[in-house]
Amino acid sequence: MKKFFYCLILLITICAVFACTGMAPKEQVIGSDNCYLVDFNSGRVLYAKGENDKKPIASMVKIMTLLITFENVDSGKLSLDQKVPISHEAAAQVGSEMFLDEGVEYPLSDLIKGIVTMSANDASVAVAELIGGDEVAFTGMMNQRAAALGMNDTLFSNATGYPTKEEQYSTAKDVACMMRELAKHKEYYNFSTIWLEDYTHPSGRVTQMANTNKLIRHYKGCDAGKTGYTDSAKFCLAGTAVRDGMRVVGSVLGAQDSKARFRAMSTLFNYGFNNFKNVVLVKGGSPLSVDVKVNGGKKDKLAVMAKSDLSVLQAKGEGNAKLEYNIPESVKAPINCGDKIGEVYAVVDGRKVAVCDVLAAEEIKKASIWDYVKKIM
């Protein structure tokens, strides 16, 4: 009888361990009352806890500094190899820094590297001065960009997140919002995945850069993130990870220690990957099994294709996604390859959750009189 009870207890324990991978993270996240997790592609909220509480976010402010920088690079206003002069104000920054030399010019890419890996305040101010003229003007740009993104519960007072007398705050939701926007810039990952690097200054002096986001080394799939710490903000983290074609973005505010923030983020990531999956319904460029008649053309039917991948995020227990087409029964020639014909929707439980354009997969010219004669004959 005792053996039976021991086996029963063991079985219950094993079931509990496996069950915890799919349970809501509020049962698992220890040391954070403010966290948020979203799907990168769709923006769908996967988990939220205290997401609208206004809190100091320390150096996670630099996510916006980086976002504006990469937006300027992508638009061509800045180049990664351009030289940036280091002012007295930038070189005089305290806290985390890469120890820039005043009056010396550094490549913009090196400053970005310092911000991303070691959260360098001096590099952040140098970049702010480059883009805005001075840090105050750049901070205004940060708040404008936040408003444009719908970050209604965020206020920036500097480009670094270093504590000042001025009010500065955000929320777990808003932090995840700007982290998601930053994660759209492919060039960012060339910096965010750096773990350790000995950086040589123009003078020949060497500074070791160590990434403050430990998850890029210790969590499979994590390839970017930004930490933050002050006495008031405690330990914070925003990050993103990708597995099996599904990317998630998360934020954790106010953890009690450094290990707690990484543990909390890992739990959020695990929850997303264990309970949701990205399903590709249609591959971009692939033919669609839809008949479209052609009026007045050299051919009677038009082959159509999806413009891009059509994918949907599905949770366990949700119904399978179905395809719904918005395509005319017939089109009039001439038709060029690549012309938009209609749309295809991904439908889950009666809701349209994603859409993709349907394009002509071939060119069909207008029929000539001889073409009509051949059809009759």
CATH number at residue 245: 3.40.710.10
Q: Which of 32, 49, 55, 62 is catalytic?
A: 62
* Residues 111 and 194 grouped into a single domain: yes
Query: So what's the pLDDT on residue 20?
Result: 39
* Residues 110 and 53 grouped into a single domain: yes
Domain contains 254: yes
Instruction: Report residues of the chain scoring pLDDT below 50.
Output: 1-22
User: For this structure, is 307 an active site residue?
Assistant: no
Query: So what's the pLDDT on residue 353?
Result: 83
Among 51, 21, 32, 23, residue whose Cα is nearest residue 262 = 32
Domain contains 46: yes
* Residues 144 and 252 grouped into a single domain: yes
* Residues 142 and 290 grouped into a single domain: no
Q: Which residues contact 141 (CB under 8 A, 6 or more apart)?
A: 68, 131, 132
Query: End of a domain among 247, 278, 309?
Result: 278
Domain contains 76: yes
User: For this structure, is 62 an active site residue?
Assistant: yes
Report the residue count for the chain.
Answer: 377
User: For this structure, is 59 an active site residue?
Assistant: yes
CATH number at residue 315: 2.60.410.10
Query: So what's the pLDDT on residue 22?
Result: 46
CA distances from 195 to 191, 260, 282, 300 (A): 9, 20, 37, 59
* Residues 206 and 185 grouped into a single domain: yes
Q: In terms of residue numbers, what domain contains 137? A: 27-278
Query: So what's the pLDDT on residue 12?
Result: 39
Query: So what's the pLDDT on residue 153?
Result: 98
* Residues 34 and 84 grouped into a single domain: yes
Query: So what's the pLDDT on residue 375?
Result: 63
Domain contains 3: no
Query: End of a domain among 252, 278, 304?
Result: 278
User: How many domains are contained in the chain?
Assistant: 2
Q: Which of 87, 119, 251, 311 is catalytic?
A: 119
Query: End of a domain among 278, 297, 329?
Result: 278
* Residues 265 and 297 grouped into a single domain: no
Domain contains 16: no
Domain contains 104: yes
Looking from the CA of 22 toward its CB, the CA atoms found within 13 Å total 10
Domain contains 10: no
* Residues 202 and 143 grouped into a single domain: yes
Q: Which of 32, 49, 55, 59 is catalytic?
A: 59
* Residues 45 and 66 grouped into a single domain: yes
Query: So what's the pLDDT on residue 94?
Result: 95
* Residues 222 and 312 grouped into a single domain: no
* Residues 366 and 218 grouped into a single domain: no
pTM score, whole prediction: 0.83
Domain contains 6: no
* Residues 152 and 257 grouped into a single domain: yes
